[in-house]
Amino acid sequence: ASPLLNGVRRGRNNLASCFIGKMGDSIDEIYGTLHKIAKISQNGGGIGLYIGDIRCNGSWVRNVKGASGGITPWLKLINDTVVAVNQLGKRAGACTVALPIWHYDIEEFFSCQLEGRDPRKQTFDILPQILLYDNFLTACENDEAWFCFDPYETKKVLDIDLSKYGSKYEWVKKYQECIKAYRNGLLQLVKVYQAKAIAKLLIKTMVETGLPYITYIDTVNKNNPNKHKGDIPCVNLCTESFSNVDDDHWHTCSLSSLNLAYIQDTELEKYCRIIVRILDNILDICEYPIPESEAHVNKYRTIGVGVFGLADYFAKNRQTYETSYKNGLMSNIFEDIAYYCIDESAELAKDRGAYQYFKGSEWDSGGQILKYVALSEMPDRWTELQNKIKMFGIRNSQLMSPAPNTTTSLIQGSVAGILPPFNLMHYDDSSNGTILIMPPFLSENPIGYKAYRNYDMHTMINYVSEMQKWVDTGISFECLFDLTKIKEDGEKLIDAKYIYDYIMKSWKGGIKANYYWRYITDQDVATESAVDCPGCQG
């Protein structure tokens, strides 16, 4: 990834791409977090930030009701911090800011990038991220009410912290207690909506701005191998990397990716093992911008092995996404990568020891490997690997994070990330000029490629869900809606219901997060509401 590529040439430096932290609710915590953001951005990292602890607009400050301005003033400061402190002069600072769907200020959050607002409240340089819970999505399906609370009031009156996840069961229990308290007159700052009304606001914002990212937070934490040590508050800047976060530990991850366009099947094991060793070594030579990052690395040793050129891999094997999904090639390639990376991390644990929080984890209990045993057509190798992990542990708590890889794929002549090419021939404009971009095997296998704009997005969910089964963290998965498509009856294919159904299918398909939402408004132009991920776009 670019932070690694830029940093390693400068000797000892920050080599990590992704950071995630939380912003507290006090003045000291808020400005302390802004300082951490500045240090990370100065050293080339992209930031994910959870802000669900911040009290809402109209809340109490020093026992004065109505004194709080809510999240917006702090969003503005975060925005201006990442603008002011760029990434080593290479590119602008970058941050995704996450708010849970239960927060009182949710409507204000949706409007932070809309045109026509008070310019003092607009934050165009950060990327909003909304956290959707299972019970919110169920409430949408059942057309039920949804309650939004002030986190400060629930703590002060009920001693309930909705930002502390624990488990899905524990969180829903706390949420129901807040509803009961409101109905009994104990809480004042509560907004009651129909869940579908919030979903409509969300879709309206997505269409107008291409944001926010959507994180299915229950899915993320259900698949967290380190539940015994905490929870995951949100996802990172490109939605593919995340792990436990608390006041003393900020998620920190270094990324590198396999170019499947030019790796032969017989070489895959070799390069998977090499890339795991490279990334594990990097954890030890990196100079971290904040102590909370180094503390996280010492406990979790999270790495992120990604892939790009997947469309090229299918094309050179005379396959397509459709055939690879049906005949199992799509599942097989991701299973092999997962197996080789996990096995190599277990080998490293023999020599270097397991990560500190291994005991009590899903790796330790066997639950993580049992998921793969149930999915695999070669379960015996996974069972043998589980025996190895029981004996030696595993070096890295999380290993796979397919990133966008937009810039690197351009340099290396392959299709970016895990998605099909946007178009079979298009131009990329940059400050260095205009470049003609074509998939590398187009002339050899012209029917092996299909432009992303020609896929049905609901079908694409099936493919990414298949990949996600083998990926222990997330996948950078952006959506492209072609608004020019027409159904047989002459109505537009892409409408609010289509997008709503897309969200629901992503959730039910086990997708952990949706990245950018992009739209084609005519046959020649795609409106891209945001540039390629500036945090780890290598």
What is the pairing mode between strands 251-259 and 18-22?
antiparallel
Active-site entry in 236, 244, 259, 396 = 236
Q: Which of 512, 449, 178 is nearest to 321 (CA)?
A: 449
Q: Tokens 């793969």 correspond to what residue?
A: 372
Joined together, the tokens standing for residue 514 give 């949706």
Catalytic residue list contains 208: no
| Contact between 50 and 103 (Cβ < 8 Å) | no
Active-site entry in 18, 148, 238, 341 = 238
Is residue 199 classed as helix, strand or coil in its secondary structure? helix
Catalytic residue list contains 29: no
Q: Tokens 């996280």 correspond to what residue?
A: 296
Joined together, the tokens standing for residue 327 give 């005949």
CA separation, residue 297 to residues 250, 284, 301, 388, 428 (Å): 9, 9, 5, 23, 37
| Contact between 306 and 400 (Cβ < 8 Å) | yes
264 by Cβ neighbours in 10 Å (0-12 / 13-18 / 19+) ranks as exposed
| SS3 track for 397-417 | CCCECCCCCHHHHHHHCCCCC
Catalytic residue list contains 238: yes
Angstrom distance (rounded) from CA 481 to CA 453: 7
Q: What angle do CA 22, 280, 94 make, to 5 degrees?
A: 35
Strand boundaries in 250-339, DSSP class E: 251-259, 303-308
Looking at residue 374, what DSSP letter applies? H
Count of CB atoms within 10 A of residue 85's CB? 17
Angstrom distance (rounded) from CA 322 to CA 334: 16
Active-site entry in 108, 240, 335, 344 = 240
Which amino acids are annotated catalytic?
Answer: 236, 238, 240
